[in-house]
Chains A and B, each alone.
Chain A
Amino acid sequence: MKYVDEFRDGELARGLAAAVTRAAERGRDYNFMEFCGGHTHAISRYGVADLLPTHVHMIHGPGCPVCVLPIGRVDMAIELALKHGVMLCTYGDTLRIPASNGLSLLKAKSQGGDIRIVYSCGDALALAQRHPERQVVFFAIGFETTTPPTVVVIRQAHALGLDNFSVLCCHVLTPAAIGHILESPEVRDYGTVPLDGFIGPAHVSTVIGSRPYEFFAEEYRKPVVIAGFEPLDVMQAILMLVKQVNEGRAEVENEFSRAVTREGNVKAQNLVAEVFELRREFEWRGLGIVPYSALRIRGHYARHDAERRFPLAYRQVADNKACECGAILRGVKSPWQCKLFGTACSPESPMGSCMVSSEGACAAHYTYGRFKELTPA
């Protein structure tokens, strides 16, 4: 397949792996966090870690939108479907997230909730047009990548006067989460999470550009290399990070220059600013309350804000006590260090959110990599 196979070439991968091995100095460890679930998935699916020298470690970050969605927000979506009888449209990934009272959107669906999987928020808008007698709510989740499309449908609904369409907005912001991790005591004070640099987001950066990361590089002295989601992108970014560490640099470098600029997509940024405003605070699963880390719909578009249209209250819900998703999302623990991993918690019956989406650290490791603990290489 053109434009795809080139970025998955085994021979180039071996060449890059050799370069990383040459560059990585003996006698020290390199610990890099890939922020995005897309990178986590690529690393697991293509076996990137198998090609790296043993002293270069990858730590999975919190950049999976399904994983960081707190239980309370899923509860709100379920309440909309079951109690308020709306047609709830959602991306398929959210269906299996475990929520309160043993429910999930999938279970709510089997209990009679009208829950539809859509592949784009435009499909949700089309459903609202086709069913004027129904209230249609789009469950909007994701980072800066999925935010602009949500903006577009809200503006369209507004322009069309489509009164039966609203959005349950759970869009979150990447830089806020990175800042939160760097400020966490494990990283900043105790050094329990050794962190030598970040692989920066791919698709998110096409929207926000590379500039927002400059602060982290300067303030926290951590190198950031923005990389695409193909396995060769990831390998190349690791090589660039190793070099930065060796040379004592902490800069923002852009491996994904075929799609990312310093300024990003200014038109999208302006549209987002027109429809959304910052929330004072937002709960992230695993990270807790993170100030100014999420978006809400501006008052001008209140008719299309499900939180204003329906009597919904957000309630914080604690994770299962044994679930280590929080520590895993902060990079403090690895999936196989959780007692529930592969026993009580598996992709069939996930307990924690990291086991739900294929981009989640636990699901990716369970699905693609658990032979590493069980069978000799």
Chain B
Amino acid sequence: MKEVKRGYVRPLDVKRGCVDMSHGSGGRAMAQLIAELFAEAFANDYLGRGDDGAVLPAAAGRLVLSTDCHVVSPLFFPGGDIGCLSVHGTLNDVAMMGATPLYLTAGFILEEGFPFADLKRIVDSMAKAAREAGVPVVAGDTKVVERGHGDGVFITTTGLGFLPEGVNLSGNRARPGDRILVSGTLGDHGMAIMAKRESLGFSSPIISDTAALHGLVAELLASGADIHVLRDPTRGGVATTLNEIAQQSAVGMMLQEPALPINTEVAAACELLGLDPLYVANEGKLVAIVAGGDAERALAALRAHPLGGRAAIIGAVHEDTHHFVQMTTGFGGRRIVDWLTGEQLPRIC
């Protein structure tokens, strides 16, 4: 009689298998999915303990906590995928507060029928992004919804960071006389997604700019420049971000159109589709509002970093009871850069 192998479970068929309802049921199948796919990719001591929660050392001082849901379609796009995007997105939100990100958690909602091969690609990309950022994924959760009730995979990540003494960044700190900086070209992520979408047949070399910005932020803060506001202009683009800040700080802004850094490919694609790069999403760029006298120092710090090579001063803050964001056009006229109306692009982050 054949001997039964104790505790043997056939390994997950990553090549051909796919998610079924049992992977969310709390039973063996779920334990196997977590062990073979998630725990292996994210391997770290906190996660390795297999407890209900991660036990973290308490830090003295202030903490920053931020959470972000990711529902991008398509899941894979030039320059990245939903995996690395979900890590970068949350790290950047923590970094925009001036904090050093320490830990991440990740929640997955998987759709029945989603191929393991795609899931592995996404999880590996997440793990790589977290490793490169030096921030471990210390806790997580997985749920499975029936076919037709999700869109492959949705990922929610939460980030915890440490805020050093003396750093006080907030959207309400922009003051008349401040300068407005961006860390690089506008609209790359949104246009990369747009170019990939099935209904658009054009092939385009536009690459998403998805990247973790906490290194760049650290350099910027280390420069000693008096930074008032940092924000990452994701959905709604730079225009929407600046309108939010203008509202919060009760100020007006004037941009200089010729100063906006925009890749030619992005400008051309926007032209073709009737979009405005100021409203297109970025996933690896920041907007900095800096005291007027420190603008050049902040610009130099940004440009010295690999992610800030095309940083630019794009405008200034002034008094305005209407809190308008305006722009002097390259043509010589003046116009409002208003809040985004409706949606320029469907599900992009």
Seen from chain A, the residues whose Cβ lies within 8 Å of a Cβ on chain B are 1, 4, 8-10, 13-14, 17, 44-51, 95-96, 116-119, 123, 231, 347-348, 358, 363, 366-371, 374-375, 377
**Contacting residues, chain B, for A377 (C-beta < 8 A):** 334
Q: Given A367-B336, A367-B338, A371-B324 in contact, is the A231-B331 Cβ separation under 8 Å?
A: yes
Task: Show 25 residue pairs from A and B whose CB-CB distance is below 8 angstroms, ordered by the A residue.
Answer: A4-B267, A4-B268, A8-B331, A44-B335, A46-B329, A46-B330, A47-B334, A48-B331, A96-B342, A116-B199, A117-B346, A118-B199, A119-B200, A119-B273, A123-B199, A347-B338, A347-B341, A348-B341, A348-B342, A366-B338, A367-B336, A368-B335, A368-B338, A371-B324, A375-B320
Asked if B336 and A369 sit within 8 Å, CB to CB, the answer is: yes
Asked if A1 and B333 sit within 8 Å, CB to CB, the answer is: no
Seen from chain B, the residues whose Cβ lies within 8 Å of a Cβ on chain A are 199-200, 258, 264, 267-268, 271, 273-274, 320, 322, 324, 326, 329-336, 338, 341-342, 346
* 9 interchain residue pairs of minimum CB distance: A47-B333, A347-B341, A46-B331, A50-B333, A368-B335, A10-B332, A367-B338, A47-B334, A46-B329
Q: Which residue of B lies closest to A49 (CB)?
A: B333
Q: Which residue of A lies closest to B342 (CB)?
A: A96
**Contacting residues, chain A, for B330 (C-beta < 8 A):** 8-10, 46
Asked if A47 and B341 sit within 8 Å, CB to CB, the answer is: no
Q: Which residue of B lies closest to A17 (CB)?
A: B332
Asked if A375 and B329 sit within 8 Å, CB to CB, the answer is: no
Q: Which residue of A lies closest to B335 (CB)?
A: A368
Q: Which residue of B lies closest to A349 (CB)?
A: B341
Q: Given A1-B268, A117-B199 in contact, is the A45-B336 Cβ separation under 8 Å?
A: no
Shortest CB distance A111–B (Å): 18
Shortest CB distance B205–A (Å): 15
**Contacting residues, chain B, for A117 (C-beta < 8 A):** 199, 346
Shortest CB distance B260–A (Å): 13
Shortest CB distance A211–B (Å): 29
Q: Is the interface of B mostly helix, strand, loop or mixed?
A: loop
Asked if B331 and A371 sit within 8 Å, CB to CB, the answer is: no
Q: Given A96-B342, A371-B326 in contact, is the A51-B271 Cβ separation under 8 Å?
A: no
Q: CA separation between A363 and B271, bound complex, in Å?
A: 19
Q: CA separation between A264 and B268, bound complex, in Å?
A: 27
**Contacting residues, chain A, for B333 (C-beta < 8 A):** 46-51
Say which residue of A17, A44, A367, A370 sits within 8 Å of B341 (CB atoms).
A367
**Contacting residues, chain A, for B338 (C-beta < 8 A):** 347, 366-368
**Contacting residues, chain B, for A10 (C-beta < 8 A):** 258, 329-332
Asked if A368 and B271 sit within 8 Å, CB to CB, the answer is: no
Q: CA separation between A193 and B335, bound complex, in Å?
A: 26
Q: Given A1-B271, A118-B199, A347-B341 in contact, is the A375-B322 Cβ separation under 8 Å?
A: yes
Asked if A51 and B199 sit within 8 Å, CB to CB, the answer is: no
Q: CA separation between A123 and B200, bound complex, in Å?
A: 9
Q: CA separation between A47 and B264, bound complex, in Å?
A: 23
Q: CA separation between A10 and B327, bound complex, in Å?
A: 14
Q: Which residue of A lies closest to B341 (CB)?
A: A347
Q: Is the interface of A mostly helix, strand, loop or mixed?
A: helix
Asked if A46 and B273 sit within 8 Å, CB to CB, the answer is: no
Q: CA separation between A123 and B202, bound complex, in Å?
A: 13
**Contacting residues, chain B, for A96 (C-beta < 8 A):** 342
Residue with the greatest number of chain B CB neighbours at <10 A, chosen from A10, A14, A117, A363? A10
**Contacting residues, chain B, for A123 (C-beta < 8 A):** 199
18 further interface pairs, Cβ-Cβ under 8 Å (given A1-B264, A95-B342, A118-B199)? A8-B330, A10-B329, A10-B332, A17-B332, A46-B329, A46-B330, A47-B333, A47-B335, A96-B342, A119-B200, A123-B199, A366-B338, A367-B338, A367-B341, A368-B335, A371-B334, A375-B322, A377-B334
Q: Which residue of A lies closest to B194 (CB)?
A: A119
**Contacting residues, chain B, for A95 (C-beta < 8 A):** 342
**Contacting residues, chain A, for B274 (C-beta < 8 A):** 358
Asked if B329 and A14 sit within 8 Å, CB to CB, the answer is: no
**Contacting residues, chain A, for B336 (C-beta < 8 A):** 367-371
Asked if B322 and A51 sit within 8 Å, CB to CB, the answer is: no
**Contacting residues, chain A, for B346 (C-beta < 8 A):** 117
Residue with the greatest number of chain A CB neighbours at <10 A, chosen from B199, B267, B326, B338? B199
**Contacting residues, chain A, for B324 (C-beta < 8 A):** 371, 374-375
**Contacting residues, chain B, for A366 (C-beta < 8 A):** 338
Say which residue of B200, B320, B332, B342 sits within 8 Å of A14 (CB atoms).
B332
**Contacting residues, chain A, for B334 (C-beta < 8 A):** 47, 50, 371, 377
**Contacting residues, chain B, for A363 (C-beta < 8 A):** 341
Shortest CB distance B215–A (Å): 32
Q: CA separation between A51 and B322, bound complex, in Å?
A: 24
Q: CA separation between A358 and B336, bound complex, in Å?
A: 13
Q: CA separation between A69 and B331, bound complex, in Å?
A: 32
**Contacting residues, chain A, for B199 (C-beta < 8 A):** 116-119, 123
Q: Given A1-B264, A4-B271, A118-B199 in contact, is the A374-B322 Cβ separation under 8 Å?
A: yes
**Contacting residues, chain B, for A367 (C-beta < 8 A):** 336, 338, 341
**Contacting residues, chain B, for A45 (C-beta < 8 A):** 329, 335
**Contacting residues, chain B, for A13 (C-beta < 8 A):** 331-332
**Contacting residues, chain B, for A1 (C-beta < 8 A):** 264, 267-268, 271
Q: CA separation between A377 and B333, bound complex, in Å?
A: 11
Q: CA separation between A317 and B4, bound complex, in Å?
A: 77
Say which residue of A4, A17, A47 sits within 8 Å of B329 (CB atoms).
A47
Asked if A46 and B335 sit within 8 Å, CB to CB, the answer is: yes
Q: Which residue of B lies closest to A368 (CB)?
A: B335
Shortest CB distance B333–A (Å): 1
**Contacting residues, chain B, for A8 (C-beta < 8 A):** 330-331
Shortest CB distance B171–A (Å): 21
Shortest CB distance A121–B (Å): 12
Q: CA separation between A367 and B199, bound complex, in Å?
A: 28
Q: Which residue of B lies closest to A50 (CB)?
A: B333
**Contacting residues, chain B, for A9 (C-beta < 8 A):** 330-331
Q: CA separation between A347 and B342, bound complex, in Å?
A: 8
Shortest CB distance A14–B (Å): 6
Q: Which residue of A lies closest to B326 (CB)?
A: A371
Shortest CB distance B254–A (Å): 11
**Contacting residues, chain A, for B341 (C-beta < 8 A):** 347-348, 363, 367
Q: CA separation between A292 and B137, bound complex, in Å?
A: 67
Q: Which residue of B lies closest to A7 (CB)?
A: B331
Shortest CB distance B195–A (Å): 12
Shortest CB distance B185–A (Å): 14
Q: CA separation between A1 and B258, bound complex, in Å?
A: 13
Residue with the greatest number of chain B CB neighbours at <10 A, chosen from A17, A368, A377? A368
